[in-house]
């Protein structure tokens, strides 16, 4: 077994303390890291401050090298250190950085909207720009509700989402999200009224005890049951990620989305597909929607839209959705200051150009198959790896206490925490919960994939031995 990924015997925290770098203390003093406890950063895990990146590799301010196994947060599809994108942004900033999106637009925003209309499936063609995925989802909710009212259905305000979903953390988007429901309601409840949650496809632990496609189809039928229970005249839209990363990276059967499309059409309900994580080559297609052969009424996108080089997102709709805004005095009752900001649009245009020119969509499919072979190999050698699944470079392994019963590890269990520590000590960045996500940049190489699998193999092996599981 390879040992070149090992750090010295001292812990990562001690390793950090050996360096007198003021930037680390300044980060602890002033930067509010979004999801990590301060005590953990200050005393246990250590603060990580990164200075530069190249491809799938990041370098911290000490010069230590890390492999980015999660593309930041499913973001950096084109890879780190793309000078072309930086140059495009600088050139645009010299010409024009900003005009108000409330009444005007800019040349790169027009070009980007046209590009997205050409790239997205079906007749999606009208683009509302925003700054991030949460805003894109918030926009989609508002559009869906307003369209239903303008069509003559003032009672259609309800949104049906899926259990385990993640759609963002602005108030409306957070109300759709169920991944951390208890904490959200404790601090921010009551959440937005009129949101109802239904089962989501899960081939590993189907809610209905069904296997294969039939379990997925039952999840779709449950959506129709919920629409009927609420009353079709009260439901505005159904929303879901084509492949939900937060709910386990389960790949639905194509029949699931086709049936959902039929159900929504039958009841006059809009179908929103959230491509914020899935889009721009991540799954081996420009958009994961393409794998399922359906066109949503509304689609959201962000993250890979600019590969993280600038904050930008978009909500794109079909002509049938936009048409109510082309008559009388109807305008969408929504605006965002930085929607379609010119420099961000220039970054997105260059990013899309690179993804297409370098064949990164096809590369994601090829490297994803190679990665999945390595992850499935871990199932054969580790008693805690219950399943490995994914599509393209959207992959994960599920960690279990017992393969036979599929008993879950609590997310805050000592075993899960230990695996996370060991992975981090080997300088690999990813998210280690009961589901361990692997979603590197689309430029990842076979050698880097081998290194990631080796790190997982080593980390799981050590943790399993320490906990008496091997």
pLDDT tens sequence across 247-290: 999 999 999 999 999 999 999 999 999 999 999 999 999 999 99
To the nearest whole percent, how much of the chain has pLDDT over 90?
Answer: 86
Nearest to 116 by CA among 332, 341, 300: 300
Percentage of residues of the chain with pLDDT beyond 70: 95
pLDDT for res 111:
98
Pair (91, 72) in one structural domain: no
Interatomic CA distance for residues 252 and 242, integer angstroms: 8
Residues 408, 387: Cα–Cα separation, whole Å: 12
In a domain, 280, yes or no: yes
Nearest-CA neighbor of 293 among 266, 255, 264, 321? 255
Neighbours of 90 (CB within 10 A): 11
Minimal CA–CA distance to 392: which of 256, 275, 306?
275
3 falls within a domain: no
Cα–Cα dist 53/69, whole Å: 13
How are beta strands 407-408 and 385-391 bridged, if at all?
A: unpaired
What pLDDT does 43 receive? Answer: 75
Q: Which residues contact 290 (CB under 8 A, 6 or more apart)?
A: 121
Residues 344 and 378 grouped into a single domain: no
- Burial-class residue 425 by CB neighbours within 10 Å (0-12, 13-18, 19+): buried
Quickly state the pLDDT bin for 16 (edges 50, 70, 90).
very low
What's the rounded Cα separation, in Å, for the pair 98 and 119?
25
pLDDT the model gives residue 39: 81
Which two three-digit tokens encode residue 268? 């006059």
- Statement to judge: residues 97 and 196 lie in one domain: yes
CA distances from 411 to 2, 46, 120, 254 (A): 28, 20, 36, 31
pLDDT the model gives residue 25: 85
Report pLDDT for 24: 82
**58 with 199, same domain?**
no
Clarify whether residues 97 and 76 are in a common domain.
no
pLDDT class for 4, splitting at 50, 70, 90?
Answer: very low
CATH of the domain at 72: 3.90.1150.10
Distance set, CA 419 to CA 81, 385, 457, 459, 467 (Å): 29, 12, 10, 6, 11
pLDDT at position 36, please? Answer: 83
Whether 44 and 91 map to the same domain: the answer is no
- Indicate if 337 and 388 belong to the same structural domain: no
In terms of residue numbers, what domain contains 136? 83-357
Same domain, 164 and 234: yes
The closest alpha carbon to 216, from 273, 254, 165, belongs to 254
* pLDDT at residue 5, rounded to an integer: 47
The number of beta carbons lying within 10 Å of the beta carbon of residue 329 is 5
pLDDT digits (tens, 9 = 90+) for 212-234: 999 999 999 999 999 999 999 99
Structural domain count, the chain: 2
7 in a structural domain: no
Q: Which of 323, 357, 391 is the last residue of a domain?
A: 357
In a domain, 180, yes or no: yes
Identify the weakest region by mean pLDDT among 6-15, 197-206, 330-339.
Answer: 6-15
Residue 45 shares a structural domain with residue 159? no
Which among 294, 328, 357 is the end of a domain? 357
Taking the C-alpha atoms of 201, 204, 205 and 207 in order, what is their torsion angle to the nearest 10 degrees?
A: 30
Could you give the 3-state DSSP secondary structure of residue 57?
strand
Q: Could you tell me the pTM of the whole model?
A: 0.94
Q: Are 163 and 197 in contact (CB under 8 A)?
A: yes
**351 and 390 share one domain:** no
Among the three residues 293, 324, 357, which one is the final residue of a domain in this structure?
357
Same domain? 290 vs 330:
yes
**Each residue's pLDDT tens digit, 435-450:** 999 999 999 999 999 9
Which has more pLDDT, 369 or 23? 369
> pLDDT tens digit string along 326-368?
987 889 999 999 999 999 999 999 999 999 999 999 999 999 9
Least confident residue range of 30-34, 52-56, 247-251, 357-361: 30-34
Nearest alpha-carbon partner for 303 in 90, 137, 115? 137
> What's the confidence (pLDDT) of residue 206?
93
Assess whether 69 and 124 both reside in one domain: no
Angle between helices 446-466 and 414-425 (to 10 degrees): 140
- What span, in angstroms and rounded, lies between the C-alpha atoms of 421 and 292? 37
CA distances from 182 to 137, 435, 469 (A): 21, 19, 31
């Amino acid at each position: 077994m390879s040992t070149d990924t090992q750090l010295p015997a001292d812990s990562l925290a001690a390793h950090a303390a050996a360096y007198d770098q003021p930037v680390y203390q300044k980060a602890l003093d002033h930067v509010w890291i979004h999801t990590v406890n301060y005590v953990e950063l200050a005393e246990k895990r250590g603060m990580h401050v990164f200075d530069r990146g190249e491809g799938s590799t990041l370098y911290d301010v000490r010069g230590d090298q890390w492999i980015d196994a999660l593309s930041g947060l499913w973001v950096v599809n084109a890879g780190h250190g793309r000078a072309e994108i930086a140059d495009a942004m600088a050139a645009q900033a010299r010409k024009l950085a900003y005009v108000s999106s409330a009444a005007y637009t800019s040349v790169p925003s027009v070009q980007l909207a046209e590009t997205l209309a050409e790239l997205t499936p079906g007749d999606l063609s009208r683009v509302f720009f925003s700054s991030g995925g949460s805003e894109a989802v918030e926009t989609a909710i508002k559009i869906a509700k307003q369209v239903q009212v303008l069509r003559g259905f003032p009672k259609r305000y309800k949104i049906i989402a899926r259990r385990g979903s993640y759609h963002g953390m602005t108030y409306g988007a957070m109300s759709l999200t169920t991944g951390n429901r208890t904490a959200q309601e404790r601090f921010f409840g009551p959440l937005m009224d009129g949101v109802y949650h239904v089962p989501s496809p899960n081939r590993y632990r189907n809610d209905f005890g069904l296997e294969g496609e039939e379990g997925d189809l039952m999840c779709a039928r449950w959506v129709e049951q919920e629409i009927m229970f609420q009353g079709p005249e009260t439901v505005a839209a159904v929303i879901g990620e084509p492949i939900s990363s937060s709910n386990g990276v389960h790949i639905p059967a194509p029949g699931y989305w086709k049936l959902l499309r039929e159900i929504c059409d039958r009841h006059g309900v809009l179908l929103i597909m959230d491509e914020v994580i899935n889009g721009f080559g991540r799954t081996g297609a420009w958009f994961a929607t393409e794998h399922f052969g359906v066109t949503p009424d509304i689609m959201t996108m962000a993250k890979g839209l600019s590969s993280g080089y600038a904050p930008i997102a978009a909500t794109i709709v079909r002509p049938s959705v936009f048409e109510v805004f082309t008559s009388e005095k109807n305008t969408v009752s929504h605006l965002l200051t930085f929607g379609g900001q010119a420099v961000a649009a220039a970054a997105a245009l260059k990013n899309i150009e690179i993804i297409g020119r370098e064949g990164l969509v096809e590369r994601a499919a090829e490297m994803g198959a190679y990665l999945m072979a390595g992850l499935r190999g871990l199932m054969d050698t580790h008693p805690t790896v219950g399943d490995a699944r994914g599509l393209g470079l959207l992959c994960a392994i599920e960690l279990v206490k017992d393969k036979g019963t599929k008993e879950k590890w609590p997310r805050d269990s000592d075993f899960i925490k230990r695996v996370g520590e060991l992975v981090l000590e080997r300088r690999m960045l990813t998210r280690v919960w009961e589901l361990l996500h692997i979603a590197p940049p689309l430029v990842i190489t076979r050698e880097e994939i081998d290194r990631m699998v080796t790190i997982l193999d080593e980390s799981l092996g050590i943790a399993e031995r320490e906990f008496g599981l091997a």
